[in-house]
């Protein structure tokens, strides 16, 4: 089967992040079995979800992991001009479907080259590592990477995460974490605001602190020109319905914010500083209202950044597999930082453009898909 034929099957399984991925996992496992490749699962039994990993080639050190995620983002409310779960080739030589680009295209490339991998006389192995729930916070990759480390007696060396990068090697990725902050104030008549504590006023103070913190990082020179924008961002994207009337002091408010860090900044350090500011505010406001409180929880696990130094061997290695030799960095979350933390030298490189991901009429060009196949064929040669 060609990569395009496999892709048309993969996109027909509408597995969203958070949902059971049994349908697409079954098909991939059947395909692996047909080619006599043993595979392992890392389960979330409760929710009927599983990652898949397998090795093609001998159990020796120096292997390369090809990593992809099987889930996609929803299509609701998006103006699709074709069925999002049917791969549609148009006269512009582009293949349209949800996940065509992010990132079933890469998985299709891996599976299309599998028969050649199996036949090749590999001296060092190639692994597939396919996860679920990437789109809702890269939830499955840490357990998948850990299982690869513990299951195989040999040590894989590199990981290529096939997120859409237009086949450009990406060695930097921002880290991301999402927080939810709830402020507990006192209810009362608005005329008494000087003796009550408004949850909305205090939330506003905290929200502006977050924006100022971002600006302070920039002013202090925390800049990494590889990224666009070249600095850590802090952003409040959602303020829950709060308060009941203009003349009633609001007793509760909740807001949701994200932090996207360049590798030199640390999400946890930013949170610690925010919490220290909250602690001061709590102390001061409790003089007016003893139950005043601010509670911040992690709403989305911390996805670490990727910062692969140019001197690491994987950089030369990936340059040997692709035509584009210019290294890049991305601001979206991906599993690359997690594979790197698990001990594999990691880079992102895959077919398609991230600009097409998550939107209506997502596509991957046939040319990009062919370049993906070409990279994996070169990998087979290199490992032979
Ligand atoms: Zn993705």
Give tens-digit pLDDT for 220-277.
999 999 999 999 999 999 999 899 999 999 999 999 999 999 999 999 999 999 999 9
197 CA distance to ligand 1 middle (Å): 43
Q: Does 51 have pLDDT greater than 90?
A: yes
Domain of 199, CATH number, reads 3.30.70.360
pLDDT value, residue 320: 97
How much is the average pLDDT of 70-84?
Answer: 96
Q: What is the pLDDT of residues 89-99, one digit of tens each?
A: 999 999 999 99
Domain endpoint, select from 263, 283, 302: 302
Q: What are phi and psi of 163, to 5 degrees?
A: -60, 150
Is residue 45 very low, low, confident or very high in pLDDT (cuts 50, 70, 90)? Answer: confident
188 CA distance to ligand 1 middle (Å): 48
206 CA distance to ligand 1 middle (Å): 32
pLDDT value, residue 205: 98
102 CA distance to ligand 1 middle (Å): 5
Name all contacts of 208-215 with Cβ < 8 Å and 24+ positions apart.
Answer: 209/274, 209/277, 210/234, 210/235, 210/236, 210/257, 210/274, 213/270, 213/273, 213/274
Q: What is the pLDDT of residues 300-338, one digit of tens each?
A: 888 999 999 999 999 999 999 999 999 999 988 899 999
Cα–Cα distance between 5 and 117 in angstroms, integer? 18
pTM of the model: 0.90
17 CA distance to ligand 1 middle (Å): 11
Task: For residue 369, give the nearest of 67, 116, 109 by alpha carbon.
Answer: 109
Domain match, 376 and 261 both = no
What is the rounded radius of gyration, in angstroms, for the C-alpha atoms of the chain? 24
pLDDT value, residue 47: 87
pLDDT value, residue 229: 94
161 CA distance to ligand 1 middle (Å): 9
214 CA distance to ligand 1 middle (Å): 26
12 CA distance to ligand 1 middle (Å): 17
Domain match, 66 and 203 both = no
317 CA distance to ligand 1 middle (Å): 23
Cα–Cα distance between 114 and 111 in angstroms, integer? 5
Domain of 310, CATH number, reads 3.40.630.10
Instruction: Determine the structural domain holding residue 140 and report its residue range.
Output: 3-173+305-383
Q: Which token pair is 248?
A: 């009633």
Considering its fold, how many domains does the chain have in total?
Answer: 2
358 CA distance to ligand 1 middle (Å): 9
Q: What is the pLDDT of residues 122-175, one digit of tens each?
A: 999 999 999 999 999 999 999 999 999 999 999 999 999 999 999 999 999 999
């Amino acid at each position: 089967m060609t990569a395009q034929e496999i892709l048309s099957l993969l996109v027909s399984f509408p597995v969203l992040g958070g949902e059971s991925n049994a349908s697409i996992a079954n098909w991939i496992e059947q395909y692996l079995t047909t080619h006599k490749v043993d595979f392992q699962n890392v389960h979330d039994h409760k929710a009927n979800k599983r990652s898949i990993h397998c090795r093609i080639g001998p159990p020796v050190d120096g292997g390369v992991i090809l990593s992809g995620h099987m889930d996609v983002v929803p299509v609701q409310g998006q103006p699709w001009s074709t069925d999002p779960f049917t791969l549609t080739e148009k006269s512009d030589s582009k293949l349209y479907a949800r996940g065509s680009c992010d990132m079933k295209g890469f998985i299709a490339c891996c599976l299309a080259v599998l028969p050649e991998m199996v036949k090749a006389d590999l001296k060092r192995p190639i692994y597939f590592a396919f996860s679920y729930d990437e789109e809702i916070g890269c939830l499955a990759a840490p357990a998948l990477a850990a299982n690869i480390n513990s299951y195989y007696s040999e040590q894989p060396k590199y990981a290529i995460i096939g997120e859409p990068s237009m086949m450009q090697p990406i060695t930097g990725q921002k880290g991301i974490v999402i927080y939810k902050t709830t402020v507990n104030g006192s209810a009362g008549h608005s005329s008494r605001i000087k003796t009550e504590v408004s949850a909305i006023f205090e939330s506003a103070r905290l929200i502006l602190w977050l924006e100022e913190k971002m600006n302070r990082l920039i002013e202090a020179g925390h800049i990494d020109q590889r990224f666009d924008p070249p600095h850590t961002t802090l952003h409040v994207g959602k303020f829950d319905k709060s308060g009941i009337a203009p003349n009633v002091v609001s007793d509760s408010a909740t807001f949701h914010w994200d932090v996207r860090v360049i590798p030199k900044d640390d999400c946890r350090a930013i949170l610690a500083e925010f919490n220290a500011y909250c602690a001061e505010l709590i102390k001061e406001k409790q003089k007016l209202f003893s139950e005043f409180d601010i509670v911040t929880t992690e709403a989305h696990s911390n996805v670490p950044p990727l910062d692969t130094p140019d001197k690491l061997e994987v950089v030369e290695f990936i340059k040997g597999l692709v035509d584009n030799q210019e290294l890049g960095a991305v601001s979206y979350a991906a599993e690359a930082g997690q594979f790197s933390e698990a001990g594999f030298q990691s880079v992102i490189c895959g077919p398609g453009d991230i600009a097409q991901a998550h939107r209506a009429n997502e596509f991957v060009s046939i040319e990009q898909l062919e370049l993906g196949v070409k990279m994996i064929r070169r990998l087979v040669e290199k490992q032979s």
